[in-house]
């Protein structure tokens, strides 16, 4: 990863590593996963739809018997949780591991009564037909925690009632740790974060090499251990991405360097990141009709502080870990919010290449991690523009003096002048970072306060001071890196230093 942030602080940064963090994958049965498919199976096998509960109970018992058998074989107890919301499974698992160690095998099994989707026979008096409908009900769920040779500590969540939609969890840092060991790369790890890696470049190459095909095979093998009817009914699971966290960890040479820097950029991120900026982190513009929530949240936790910028179901977080690691992490709960160039089946039956929403399949994992890496990089580039006050103040002075171009004088910019302030703030609009802007776009943002000729002179003035650059052979402009830095610094000085002082 090559960002302005890493370049700027290269003298105090030891290395960086990006990889999948937490990931939750859901499994849906290919032949029984949906009501119409289940109904078709029943009719094909001459089973009355109203006999479905009797049919399903047989497989419910098979799952329970199989898991109990596996538990006995591995000398593992099954613990029932009466209040799942009040019980911290992960905390208890850590205590068990402290005693048993990290060798591969089953760690513990929990059961709890939880809500799930289930099929129910339904008779329609109008059509006089019986069909299967989806409803929510409660059934026993198994949480099987185990340590996998490749994936480390993982768990499999299995509901005992059909359609038996399972969930699988693992952490990508554990998988990367296995690959580093296999390739004789020395590392130190603390609290789910690498604090030192002997070869960061090779480690990143290994991290980028998680194949969806391998993951699919592991998932099929793991789930078949506990669900016996898969082989009996010649079925398999279709695996989709439910939640993916992709982190970029920046490891600092000295924890004091991170502390001083982190406190400063957290404070400024709270006040400087606007909804339009959040959209640009995800390579999107904030449309007027966008209905989902966009914003920023700041939390104080036991471990420290965290800032989270969210757009709909997806978010970007920043926090410190293990005293010397700055983590920027993109969390994806809705993969379809990302667009990729892929094959799309049209209504006419033809397949064409076009930009479309990313598919939820685990085979989108490679494309998704690339998009998350880009999001993390864009966020780091953004915070690099305002994290150093001294540099910002130096740049601010450059636009506070008159400039001359072709014997014509251009007045300085003043953040306390209403017109200048509105123009500079308008330049930071989120959509301009992606698509650039023209004369008419800037006038629209400024509510047509200036006519076309006046705006042309303003754009010329911005160009002379180096705040914007023109795209060759077009009338389109972009903010320069200098422009991003100086506007960010100027607003921070005005909002957080001068105005509060005057208020006192």
Q: DSSP string of 269-300?
A: HHHH--HHHHHHHTT----TT--S-EEEEEEE
Percentage of residues of the chain with pLDDT beyond 70? 94
- How many domains would you assign to the chain? 2
- Report pLDDT for 301: 67
Residue recorded with tokens 């992709």: 246
Considering the domain boundaries, does residue 234 fall inside one? Answer: no
Least confident of 37-46, 182-191, 484-493: 484-493
Tokens of 132: 């299967």
Q: Cβ(447)–Cβ(456) under 8 Å?
A: no
- What sign does the CA torsion over 375, 380, 383, 385 have? negative
Residues in the chain: 504
For residue 81, pLDDT over 70 is answered with yes
- Residue 394, Cβ neighbours under 10 Å: how many? 13
Least confident of 176-180, 292-296, 333-337, 380-384: 292-296
For residue 389, pLDDT over 60 is answered with no
Pairing of strands 13-29, 166-171: antiparallel
| Residue 430, domain CATH | 1.10.10.10
Considering the domain boundaries, does residue 68 fall inside one? Answer: yes
Mean per-residue pLDDT for 410-423?
A: 88
Rounded-to-integer distance, Cα 445 and Cα 428, Å: 11
Rounded-to-integer distance, Cα 53 and Cα 62, Å: 14
Which of 110, 134, 164 delimits the end of a domain?
Answer: 164
Burial class (CB in 10 A: 0-12, 13-18, 19+), 291: exposed
- Three-state DSSP at 396 gives helix
Q: Which of these, 447, 473, 441, 472, lies nearest to 459 by C-alpha position?
A: 441
Least confident of 11-20, 382-391, 443-452: 382-391
**Angle value at C-alpha 460, between 458 and 466, nearest 5 degrees:** 105
Q: Cβ(190)–Cβ(50) under 8 Å?
A: no
Percentage of residues of the chain with pLDDT beyond 90? 61
Confidence of residue 393 (pLDDT cuts 50, 70, 90): low
Render pLDDT for 272-286 as a digit per residue (tens, 0 to 9): 888 888 988 998 877
Which of 164, 189, 209 delimits the end of a domain?
Answer: 164
For residue 157, pLDDT over 90 is answered with yes
Confidence of residue 388 (pLDDT cuts 50, 70, 90): low
Rounded-to-integer distance, Cα 192 and Cα 343, Å: 37
Considering the domain boundaries, does residue 124 fall inside one? Answer: yes
- Report pLDDT for 331: 97
Rounded-to-integer distance, Cα 40 and Cα 37, Å: 5
Tokens of 421: 């302030």
For residue 111, pLDDT over 90 is answered with yes
Burial class (CB in 10 A: 0-12, 13-18, 19+), 80: exposed
Considering the domain boundaries, does residue 452 fall inside one? Answer: yes
For residue 434, pLDDT over 90 is answered with no
Mean per-residue pLDDT for 32-60?
A: 93
For residue 309, pLDDT over 80 is answered with yes
Rounded-to-integer distance, Cα 436 and Cα 85, Å: 48
Sheet of 314-321, strands arranged across: 78-81, 105-124, 129-148, 152-159, 166-171, 13-29, 237-252, 325-332, 314-321, 305-311, 294-300
- Report pLDDT for 230: 94
Least confident of 54-63, 112-121, 176-185, 491-500: 491-500
Tokens of 11: 């003298």
Domain with 141 in it:
34-164
Mean per-residue pLDDT for 19-44?
A: 94
pTM over 0.85: no
Considering the domain boundaries, does residue 190 fall inside one? Answer: no
Which of 148, 164, 180 delimits the end of a domain?
Answer: 164
- Report pLDDT for 391: 54
CA distances from 346 to 298, 338, 361 (A): 44, 20, 20
Considering the domain boundaries, does residue 315 fall inside one? Answer: no
Considering the domain boundaries, does residue 364 fall inside one? Answer: no
Rounded-to-integer distance, Cα 207 and Cα 414, Å: 47
For residue 479, pLDDT over 80 is answered with yes
For residue 390, pLDDT over 50 is answered with no
- Residue 443, Cβ neighbours under 10 Å: how many? 19
Tokens of 105: 């095998």
Tokens of 35: 């009501």
For residue 396, pLDDT over 70 is answered with no
Considering the domain boundaries, does residue 327 fall inside one? Answer: no
Mean pLDDT for the chain overall: 90
**Angle value at C-alpha 61, between 57 and 64, nearest 5 degrees:** 140
For residue 140, pLDDT over 90 is answered with yes
- Report pLDDT for 13: 95
- Report pLDDT for 303: 65
- Report pLDDT for 213: 94
- In sequence order, which residues have a C-beta less than 8 Å from that of residue 48 and are 6 or more positions away? 42
- Report pLDDT for 24: 97
- Report pLDDT for 5: 92
């Amino acid at each position: 990863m090559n960002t302005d942030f890493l370049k700027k602080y290269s003298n105090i940064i030891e290395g960086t590593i990006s990889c999948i963090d937490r990931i939750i994958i859901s499994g849906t049965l290919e032949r029984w996963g949906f009501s119409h498919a289940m109904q078709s199976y029943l009719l094909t096998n001459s089973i009355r739809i109203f006999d479905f509960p009797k049919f399903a109970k047989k497989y419910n018992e098979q799952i329970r018997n199989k898991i109990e058998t596996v538990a006995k074989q591995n000398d593992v107890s099954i613990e029932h949780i009466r209040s799942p919301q009040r019980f911290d499974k992960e905390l208890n698992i850590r205590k068990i591991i402290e005693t048993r160690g990290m060798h591969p095998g089953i760690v513990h099994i929990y059961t709890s009564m939880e809500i799930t989707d289930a099929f129910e026979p339904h008779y329609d008096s109008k059509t006089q037909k019986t069909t299967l409908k989806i409803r929510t009900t409660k059934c026993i769920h198994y949480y099987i925690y185990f340590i996998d040779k490749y994936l480390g500590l993982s768990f499999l969540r299995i509901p005992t009632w059909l359609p038996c939609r399972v969930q699988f969890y693992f952490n990508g840092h554990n998988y990367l740790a296995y690959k580093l060991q296999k390739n004789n790369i020395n590392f130190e790890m603390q609290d789910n974060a690498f604090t030192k890696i002997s070869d960061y470049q090779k480690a990143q190459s290994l991290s980028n090499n998680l194949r969806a095909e391998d993951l699919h095979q592991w998932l099929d093998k793991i789930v078949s251990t506990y669900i016996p009817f898969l082989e009996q009914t010649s079925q398999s699971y279709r695996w989709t991405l439910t939640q993916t966290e992709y982190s970029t960890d920046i490891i600092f040479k000295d924890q004091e360097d991170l502390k001083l820097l982190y406190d400063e950029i957290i404070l400024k991120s709270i006040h400087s990141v606007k909804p339009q900026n959040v959209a640009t982190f995800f390579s999107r513009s904030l449309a007027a009709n966008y209905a989902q929530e966009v914003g920023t949240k700041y939390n104080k936790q036991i471990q420290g502080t965290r800032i989270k910028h969210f757009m709909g179901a997806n978010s970007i977080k920043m926090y410190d870990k293990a005293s010397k690691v700055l983590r920027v992490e993109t969390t994806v709960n809705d993969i379809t919010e990302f667009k990729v160039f892929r094959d799309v089946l049209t209504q006419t039956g033809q397949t064409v290449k076009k930009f479309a929403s990313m598919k939820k399949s685990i085979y989108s994992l490679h494309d998704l991690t690339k998009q998350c890496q880009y999001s993390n990089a864009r966020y780091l580039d953004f915070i690099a523009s305002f994290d150093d006050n001294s540099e910002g103040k130096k740049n601010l002075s450059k636009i506070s003096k008159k400039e001359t171009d072709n014997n014509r004088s251009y007045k300085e910019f003043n953040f306390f002048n209403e017109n200048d302030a509105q123009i500079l703030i308008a330049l930071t609009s989120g959509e301009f970072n992606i698509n650039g802007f023209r004369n008419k776009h800037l006038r629209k943002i400024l509510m047509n306060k200036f006519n076309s000729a006046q705006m042309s002179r303003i754009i010329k003035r911005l160009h002379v001071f180096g705040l914007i650059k023109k795209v060759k052979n077009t009338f389109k402009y972009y903010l320069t890196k200098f422009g991003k830095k100086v506007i960010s610094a100027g607003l921070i000085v005005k909002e957080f230093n001068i105005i509060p002082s005057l208020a006192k």
